[in-house]
């Protein structure tokens, strides 16, 4: 939360521009979403901890949603969905976000029901409601969520019908820290306190992206999951964010990284500073967690084409002193978010 509060308006615009760029040869979800489209994001600052493999407790339940649409804004706990009768800047009604026969929406939560949520790519405003929300085979009873009457254009153009925030309750701006969907499922003993992701690559048609609630999908990774505490006083602040396309790092770190990529060059693109690198670069960039190096593949390192031979780097300089570790890194690993122990874990994806 301390790191999030350091966002400046210029950083948000900066991140939004790069995050909305079309990736040159990868997507973070399957082309054909399942009937229940889900958008989500999870984050946590990270550094070091012991290796571990987290699985559901005996007798508990987990569920994996395949072909899941995961398009989201980073650093979010707020789950807004479009409401009926909204204006032209709002997407249509959500698909599969509530039970088949939902109870009437209750807007009388006892708190101010009008809310505005600021995301990296824009804002949404509307009212809050309470309903039973089904995701996979689980139902969160009496879940508070946002009904957007007005949204930024970027959300209207998105394929997903809403955003599923997966952060901590304290970060939820809806009704002053109302429980998130994940928190509700955990408190109602519907799932174990963990969720995890495997993101597919567009070029691998046989690979299927998964979002697993209450456990991990062991068919999607090799070895053990290497966990790191969410907050560690001796490391750089970082947000592990499934909802951000690129990796946004402090300017000095961006300079140091790109010095080791031959023929990289700093450029201004629509007023935003980025680095260009050869599209055929063989340079290896890796992040180390708990003593384990995780290499970023060359294809994941490329954000979008710049010229016939140059591409925009997926590692973007920012003006803050913390890292936002997005899809540039996360696409290459299996990521697990242990809510109960406040840890983030990675393993090598299959």
pLDDT in tens, 327-344: 999 999 999 999 999 999
Say how far apart CA 174 and CA 332 lie, in whole Å.
32
CA within 13 Å, CB half, 114: 1
Say how far apart CA 18 and CA 39 lie, in whole Å.
19
Say how far apart CA 142 and CA 146 lie, in whole Å.
13
Predicted confidence (pLDDT) at residue 218 exceeds the cutoff of 90: yes
Predicted confidence (pLDDT) at residue 4 exceeds the cutoff of 60: no
pLDDT band at 146 (very low <50, low <70, confident <90, very high): confident
- The per-residue pLDDT for 272 is 87
What are the tokens at 245?
């396309």
Say how far apart CA 241 and CA 119 lie, in whole Å.
13
pLDDT band at 276 (very low <50, low <70, confident <90, very high): very high
Judge contact between 91 and 157, C-beta under 8 A.
Answer: no
Judge contact between 81 and 161, C-beta under 8 A.
Answer: yes
Q: Which residue has the higher pLDDT, 314 or 88?
A: 314
- Mean pLDDT throughout 131-147? 92
Predicted confidence (pLDDT) at residue 61 exceeds the cutoff of 70: no
Dump the DSSP string for 177-214: TPPPHHHHHHHTTSS-SEEEEE---TT-TT---EEEES
Say how far apart CA 7 and CA 321 lie, in whole Å.
10
Predicted confidence (pLDDT) at residue 176 exceeds the cutoff of 90: no
Say how far apart CA 40 and CA 241 lie, in whole Å.
10
Cα 156 to its chain centre, rounded Å, is 18
Say how far apart CA 69 and CA 87 lie, in whole Å.
24
pLDDT band at 27 (very low <50, low <70, confident <90, very high): very low
- The per-residue pLDDT for 319 is 82
- Phi then psi for 288, rounded to 5 degrees? -110, 125
Predicted confidence (pLDDT) at residue 118 exceeds the cutoff of 90: no
State the DSSP H helix or E strand holding residue 317, giving kind and residue range, or none if neither.
strand 315-318
- The per-residue pLDDT for 341 is 94
- The per-residue pLDDT for 62 is 57
Predicted confidence (pLDDT) at residue 230 exceeds the cutoff of 50: yes
- Phi then psi for 10, rounded to 5 degrees? -65, -35
Say how far apart CA 292 and CA 49 lie, in whole Å.
11
Cβ partners under 8 Å of residue 88, min gap 6: none
Q: Which residue has the higher pLDDT, 64 or 167?
A: 167
Cβ partners under 8 Å of residue 26, min gap 6: 201, 202, 203, 299, 300, 331
- Mean pLDDT throughout 252-260? 96
- The per-residue pLDDT for 164 is 86
pLDDT in tens, 277-287: 999 999 999 99
- The per-residue pLDDT for 236 is 61
**Residue closest to 131 by CA, chosen among 163, 93, 101, 169:** 101
Listed range (9-23, 299-313, 335-349) with the worst mean pLDDT: 9-23
Question: What pTM did the predictor assign?
Answer: 0.70
Judge contact between 163 and 72, C-beta under 8 A.
Answer: yes
What are the tokens at 322?
């913390």
Judge contact between 46 and 226, C-beta under 8 A.
Answer: no
Report the range out of 27-31, 44-48, 148-152, 314-318 with the highest average pLDDT: 314-318
- The per-residue pLDDT for 320 is 83
């Amino acid at each position: 939360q301390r790191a999030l509060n350091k966002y400046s308006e210029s950083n948000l615009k900066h991140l939004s521009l790069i995050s909305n760029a079309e990736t040159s040869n990868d997507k973070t979800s399957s082309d054909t979403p399942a009937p229940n489209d889900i958008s989500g994001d999870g984050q946590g600052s990270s550094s070091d901890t012991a290796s571990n493999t987290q699985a559901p407790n005996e007798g508990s339940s987990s569920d994996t949603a395949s072909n899941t649409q995961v398009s989201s804004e980073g650093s979010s706990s707020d789950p807004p969905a479009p409401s009926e009768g909204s204006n032209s800047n709002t997407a249509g009604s959500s698909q599969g976000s509530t039970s088949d026969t939902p109870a009437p929406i209750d807007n009388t939560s006892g708190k101010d029901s009008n809310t505005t949520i600021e995301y990296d790519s824009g804002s949404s405003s509307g009212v809050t409601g309470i309903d039973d929300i089904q995701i996979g085979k689980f139902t969160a009873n009496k879940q508070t969520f946002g009904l957007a009457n007005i949204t930024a254009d970027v959300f209207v153009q998105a394929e997903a019908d809403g955003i599923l925030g997966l952060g901590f309750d304290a970060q939820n701006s809806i009704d002053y820290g109302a429980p998130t969907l994940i928190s509700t499922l955990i408190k109602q003993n519907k799932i174990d306190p963990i969720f995890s992701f495997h993101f597919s690559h567009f070029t691998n048609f046989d690979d299927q992206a998964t979002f697993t609630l209450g456990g991990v999908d062991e068919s999607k990774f090799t070895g053990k999951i290497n966990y790191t505490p969410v907050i560690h006083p001796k490391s750089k602040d970082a947000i592990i964010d499934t909802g951000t396309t690129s990796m946004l790092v402090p300017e000095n770190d961006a300079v140091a990284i790109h010095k080791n990529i031959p023929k990289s060059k700093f450029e201004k693109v629509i007023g935003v500073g980025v680095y260009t690198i050869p599209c055929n670069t063989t340079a290896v960039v890796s992040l180390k967690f708990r003593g384990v190096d995780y290499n970023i593949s060359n294809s994941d390192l490329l954000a979008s084409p710049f010229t016939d031979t140059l591409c925009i780097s997926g590692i973007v300089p920012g003006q803050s002193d913390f890292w936002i570790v997005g899809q540039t890194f996360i696409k290459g690993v299996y990521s697990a978010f242990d809510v109960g122990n406040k840890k983030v874990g990675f393993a090598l994806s299959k």
